[in-house]
């Protein structure tokens, strides 16, 4: 039996009033990479993110939310007839979330197909073994801020459908193409200028009118590999005066992008 | 009865072999602000951080660590005769930690006294209602990178002895002075130039040879208050080309510092 949640003429029907055990288990399973892969799906949590995703052309499988949230967002929901709408209670959202604090809405979204890599003359990022999901998400947001549409990730980077990555991107995930690459193959065929962020390069502020290329950033602990630095036309450094050994990789990304891309 | 952990001539004695229940409770309690305040102490976790703190002149109350870690760090421990050394088992560290992943060492450190604010002609930061501990820690690390020695925080910022703040500073916490201030009083008596980071200022790249002053950054969601922007000589903005609504506050701090402090 179906209930009409909001009103019949909005054509939003609920299959049932509250979540079933197996729905909770399904949603919760998507906080693990193996299940995201198996179901080709991922989670988007929280009001702001959910609105960004619903306003996009993403294929939404499920919208699980508090009744109040569903009522307030009829119009957005109406744009996604493919989505199953599930009204949930607080404690059900708490049981389903992968985040520390349960949000009022969780979306289950289909993973987009990997698009082929396009040769462009635009700026791009290359991330080598960036492993912290918060950093990855923040970097995707930085790319979006500076109009960078392409991020290449080595295969040992954190998986980008991780809920913490999605959370940190604040919707920018929808506007940036992420390609997972084999570093050796990529470097062999690459023709773009590479700017490699490291501790022993020239000051990033000394490059005059740099031409668009690929800005490379490395792992949180060890930075970029020797191979990548050797392949770069410009090893670049952020000059500092203090005693900190390094900067957070997302902060470094922001500083290098701001210095190179005007 | 006391055991000598390492060897008698190193003069490092254990009061007992493993942690007592009340020690575990004490350490765990320090993940809460009210107990940090009551005990005037805070936690420092993990190998890298512990070494930074032990190499400093901080007053260390306890060092709780795996036997292997204690063995490997005799010399550092020797510099802190005031510290009680407690050998712990894996599961005891897991029970005591405030972090997601237990580390091999936890220090209990005494909070330093608040130093009086000095008038200087150096760069400083002013944070208004920055609430995410990871952002606060990353900003402290950025300050240290750029040689900024003073951070002013409004009283509604996250408490800086929060273990996640400490964790994210990577030792920079020891080299930056943090002052909690009443914003109105501060602005009334302030004579330094204020650069306020906001979305409607002039491009930060257009300021030629800016003189040292205070770089102000605001809350993660709402940015700086009108009062603070109005009090600033220079409202500054990070130019972007993409569609992201904003940048993470720590990333913005890094970009503004890199642009202004050369």
Q: In terms of domains, do A90 and A132 share one?
A: no
Which chain B residues contact residue A250 at CB under 8 A?
A: 248, 250-251
**For residue A237, is it within any domain?**
yes
- State residue A55 phi and psi, 5-degree precision: -80, -10
pLDDT of residue A6: 45
The nearest CA of chain B is from the CA of A190 a distance in Å of 25
Chain Cα centroid distance, residue B164:
8
pLDDT of residue A57 exceeding 50: yes
pLDDT of residue B3: 42
Out of A17-31, A125-139, A203-217, which region has the weakest mean confidence (pLDDT)? A17-31
How far apart CA B82 and CA A121 sit, in angstroms, is 61
How far apart CA A29 and CA A38 sit, in angstroms, is 10
- In this structure, the dihedral spanned by the alpha carbons of residues B110, B111, B113 and B116, taken in order and rounded to 10 degrees, is 150
Q: In terms of domains, do B87 and B144 share one?
A: no
Confidence label for A15 from pLDDT (cuts 50, 70 and 90): very low
pLDDT of residue A17: 60
**For residue A119, is it within any domain?**
no
pTM for this entry: 0.88
How far apart CA B16 and CA A78 sit, in angstroms, is 65
pLDDT of residue A3 exceeding 60: no
Beta strands in A2-122 (DSSP E): 3-4, 13-14, 41-45, 60-65, 84-87, 105-110
Q: In terms of domains, do B140 and B92 share one?
A: no
Which chain A residues contact residue B258 at CB under 8 A?
A: 205, 238, 255, 258-259
Which chain A residues contact residue B134 at CB under 8 A?
A: 134
In chain B, the number of structural domains is: 2
Q: For the residues A82-104, what does the mean pLDDT come to? A: 90
How far apart CA B62 and CA A202 sit, in angstroms, is 43
pLDDT of residue B17: 61
pLDDT of residue A71 exceeding 80: yes
Q: In terms of domains, do B146 and B168 share one?
A: yes
Q: In terms of domains, do B133 and B196 share one?
A: yes
pLDDT of residue A119: 73
Residues of chain B with pLDDT under 50: 1-16
pLDDT of residue B116: 80
More confident residue, B101 or A6: B101
Q: In terms of domains, do A146 and A255 share one?
A: yes
| Tokens found for residue A188 | 């062999």
ipTM: 0.86
Residues 6+ apart with CB under 8 A from B228: B126, B128, B183, B187, B194, B196, B216, B218
* Inter-residue contact B36 to B112 (CB < 8 Å): no
- Structural domain including B13 reads 3-110
pLDDT of residue A67 exceeding 80: yes
Whose tokens are 């951080």? That residue is B49
Q: Give the CATH number for residue B104.
A: 3.30.1330.30
Whose tokens are 């506050």? That residue is B249
pLDDT digits (tens, 9 = 90+) for A105-135: 999 999 988 778 777 789 999 999 999 999 9
Residue A247 touches partner B, C-beta closer than 8 Å: yes
């Amino acid at each position: 039996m179906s209930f009409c949640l909001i009103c019949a003429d909005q054509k939003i029907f609920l299959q049932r009033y509250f979540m079933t055990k197996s729905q909770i288990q399904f949603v919760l399973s998507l906080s693990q990479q193996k299940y995201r892969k198996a179901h080709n799906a991922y989670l988007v949590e929280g009001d702001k993110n959910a609105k960004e995703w619903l306003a996009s052309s993403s294929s939404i499988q499920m919208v699980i939310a508090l009744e109040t949230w569903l009522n307030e967002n009829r119009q957005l929901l109406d744009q996604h007839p493919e989505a199953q709408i599930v009204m949930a209670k607080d404690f059900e959202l708490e049981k389903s979330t992968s985040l520390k604090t349960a949000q009022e809405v969780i979306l289950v979204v289909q993973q987009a197909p990997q698009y082929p890599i396009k040769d462009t003359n635009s700026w791009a990022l290359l991330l080598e073994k960036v492993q912290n999901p918060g950093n990855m998400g923040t970097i995707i947001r930085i790319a979006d801020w500076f109009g960078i549409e392409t991020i290449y990730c080595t295969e040992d980077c954190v998986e980008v459908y991780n809920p913490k990555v999605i959370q940190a991107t604040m919707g920018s995930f929808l506007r940036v193409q992420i390609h997972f690459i084999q570093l050796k193959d990529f470097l062999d065929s690459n023709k773009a200028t590479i700017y490699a962020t490291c501790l022993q390069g020239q000051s990033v502020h000394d490059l005059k009118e740099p031409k668009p290329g690929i800005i490379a950033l490395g792992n949180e602990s060890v930075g970029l590999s020797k191979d990548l630095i050797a392949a770069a036309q410009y090893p670049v450094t952020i000059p500092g005066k203090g005693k900190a050994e390094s900067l957070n990789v997302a902060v470094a990304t922001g500083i290098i992008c701001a210095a190179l891309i005007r």
